[in-house]
Structure 1
């Protein structure tokens, strides 16, 4: 068989990746060996989540996390610093203790929201009331005159504490359908009543002005035991998130006239304006030191849990990839930067500020790899609208073990991300930033911004794969003799508007926020 016929025969019967398979690369093999035999992921995650805890911007824990990262990088021989980009309202969480004291005594499950004001020292004891069903705002205003000294419940109670998947498994079709119809009707009635109340986002402030001593909410995340925990918007009274179960119990007590009374002790400190930072670590390049590869993850979190999958997993992935590269590839051709961004949860502030402050780096980026959405193995990579993404990412991925790439679906050239995570700050500046998007592991219900986002939800086998993937992509991008071109693809028509999509524009970071 001549050479041409033999080549065509191989194309017919052997996967293309096998025909063009590269010889094993000693550096790739060393990356895999270091990642699997000497992994530090579990220890890094323990330090970041269990020891330091949640990393809410403006808190001492956030500052502790930045300082710890600098120390850890330097222990590995990687230069690092905290770069200030702005300031935020400082706040420190104290204890939250909520007790039902009548008609029976029991401690309730709940916590104050981020930046919540404190109760007086020793707490407050008060009766509980719910938002009334009213005909108009005047009727609601009359009710406001009755709430001085009370705790007011401001969320819709849930019809069921069982998630839909549990109903689907055990309920009859008729029962499941009826529950959903009843829930929809309840939700509609709640929305219509809020419209009649008329205050919208000002509602909490109106309740505070009328003399309420605290607010109870319950923002269920549609899973057993999970609530979304965000921020308070009151000046002087605490806002407490209660578990679905306890919130529902109190709401029923009010409805049935059981006259519940509670004691709340919620302590916190306002710390004034404090500086906000990005932690930036650098492994200098040699041949092309003025071209850059950025390993990217947001470092801050909400503080309902300990920010384990949003985004300690992404942060320790990038730290571990940097550690591995420093160990087995200490003299990269291009400069490798690790960016642990602050203020992502308030609008990509840290990464946007970095883009704004470092045009010489952004304009000379070879690639950025960002990981954010949970603990799962990477399953999607988009070309973000860059015309040549297939060519470059394709050959970088060739070096990654098949047991990792077999799970990854690629979309080329894709469309540019305008938000969602920090890669978008760079894409909007027309720099090649790529999201390493993960498998869900019930992220949206169970860990995204919830009280259950803790160390035990991390799937370390998947995170280890992500560290290997990131390290190999970084190595391949560093060694590539070509520089990633910035040509943009023609974007598709947006089906919702009928107009062609436009490239996103850079956002202005909030450097003095609260």
Structure 2
């Protein structure tokens, strides 16, 4: 009996040793994250010092170079890998002022890739789109836009968010507002349709007709919040003015006040510039040709500083890599991080990586992607991989209950066809999972807006996501089993009656904005 007990002990000793070693790594990940966090200094350097990271801008290149330097400082191999070229552009000064019938500085900015004005700017009267009977009457009206700033957005009936109405208004008043707004929106859209154009191609028509500039206002349904995207003009400026000022100007036009604005919107056309992904890796020791990938897009729009889209995802992956290098320097599998370029224009950086590196994609153990804001991760789904429950659940068991108890899982889930960079890998058949976050009013207040700035970061939640990501990466690296790529059979589409199919890889735009 004593011999049997000794044999049993000797058999179990390596398993006990491995379990203790695993527990020590997980404990050290948490200890480093809590006691030596670099999140705030990384956020300051990236968001305050470098700022927004629009593809094709010097700030995007600066961010790539900064990340490589950071990784190398942590002893992690890193490089910028070119995947394409983009229109080079740099934002300059924007000043928008009403100069008649009174003086007021207005809140707004030029849109991305806006053609520059001179330093003296442009002064002109504002006009709005007329009530349009048909395309012929619209063409006749176009003759009147020469030398004018044309306002192309609807005058919103309220600048209060719906949740503010819901809190303070009577139910009847709230429903009345929504009904009137819906009717106004429908009428606005139908009016533009009668011109023979849509909201996009009406802009070059106005430019060709001699407009002095385009004035837009893409309200994001929050106090002081507008979404800021790209200009569609080639020679004249396009600016976005926040709702509060835009609606005032619109009312002045309606009342015959003939307001004039002065716009300075300086920028630099930098020709064609290279576009990159930043790639860093901790080389595996036992299975170096199998990969665990941490994923976050690096680029942003430039209305704010890209703090929650996707500065926070970037911070999570950088901090997780720093911690892993310190407490788990010799992983079983290679741990690679991808900071993708031009996600905002259609997942271009990640889809180019997938196309250019089949030797990596074909040997992926797992991809963990984080994108949608500063909140703690609240859900993970199996992305349509039939056996994802087995390994995702196994890895999550190692995550502290203080974090994992807030996460809902669903298996086998559904394959993503877009939205963020995990979709690029899913389309290629690689197990890629989005770490989906709590909202923190992301869609209205920070997603692609002028308010996506450092102060919106919830560092406790970001720190929680760092720990989750680092532990999941560690567990995926150490797993004795290779993850299954078996896919679910997708159901019949109720609308078309046809069998749904797995998403196919995107063809990246490698010469963009030109």
Q: Distance in 2 between matches of 1:483 and 1:24?
A: 19
1:203 aligned residue: 202
Comparing 428-437 and 173-182, the one that deviates more: 173-182
2:16 aligned residue: none
| Correspondent of 2:141 among 143, 149, 159 | 143
DSSP-derived class of the 2:420 partner? coil
Gaps of 5+ in 1: 1-20
Q: CA deviation at 1:486?
A: 1.2
DSSP-derived class of the 2:379 partner? strand
1:94 aligned residue: 92
Q: Distance in 2 between matches of 1:39 and 1:387?
A: 37
Q: Distance in 2 between matches of 1:22 and 1:158?
A: 61
Comparing 174-183 and 263-272, the one that deviates more: 174-183
1:474 aligned residue: 473
Q: CA deviation at 1:212?
A: 0.8
Q: Distance in 1 between matches of 2:23 and 2:265?
A: 57
Q: Report 1:1-400 matches (<5 A).
A: 25-200=23-198, 201-400=200-399
1:484 aligned residue: 483
Q: Distance in 1 between matches of 2:454 and 2:197?
A: 39
Change (3 A) 1:132 1:482: same
Residue by residue over 1:248-270, the C-alpha shift from the partner in whole angstroms, topping out at 9 and shown as x without a partner, is: 01100000001101111110011
Q: Distance in 2 between matches of 1:395 and 1:189?
A: 54
Comparing 490-499 and 92-101, the one that deviates more: 490-499
Q: CA deviation at 1:494?
A: 3.4
- Say whether the 8 Å CA contact 1:215–1:240 is kept in structure 2: yes
DSSP-derived class of the 1:499 partner? coil
Q: CA deviation at 1:496?
A: 3.7
Gaps of 5+ in 2: 1-18
Residue by residue over 1:25-53, the C-alpha shift from the partner in whole angstroms, topping out at 9 and shown as x without a partner, is: 00000000000000001111111111100
Q: CA deviation at 1:24?
A: 7.2
The two structures have a TM-score, normalised by structure 1, of 0.95
What is the RMSD of the two structures over their aligned residues, measured on CA atoms?
Answer: 1.2
DSSP-derived class of the 1:231 partner? coil
Q: CA deviation at 1:501?
A: 2.4
Q: CA deviation at 1:187?
A: 1.0
Q: Distance in 1 between matches of 2:159 and 2:150?
A: 21
Q: CA deviation at 1:219?
A: 0.3
DSSP-derived class of the 2:118 partner? coil
Q: Distance in 1 between matches of 2:433 and 2:20?
A: 24
Q: CA deviation at 1:493?
A: 3.4
Q: Distance in 1 between matches of 2:37 and 2:75?
A: 17
1:443 aligned residue: 442
Change (3 A) 1:23 1:475: closer
Q: CA deviation at 1:422?
A: 0.4
Q: CA deviation at 1:118?
A: 1.3
Q: CA deviation at 1:391?
A: 0.7
Q: CA deviation at 1:425?
A: 0.4
Q: CA deviation at 1:464?
A: 0.4
Q: CA deviation at 1:179?
A: 1.2
DSSP-derived class of the 1:25 partner? helix
Q: CA deviation at 1:449?
A: 0.4
Q: CA deviation at 1:195?
A: 1.2
Q: Distance in 2 between matches of 1:495 and 1:303?
A: 40
- Say whether the 8 Å CA contact 1:99–1:108 is kept in structure 2: yes
Q: CA deviation at 1:388?
A: 1.4
DSSP-derived class of the 1:275 partner? strand
Residue by residue over 1:59-99, the C-alpha shift from the partner in whole angstroms, topping out at 9 and shown as x without a partner, is: 00000000000000000000100000000000000000001
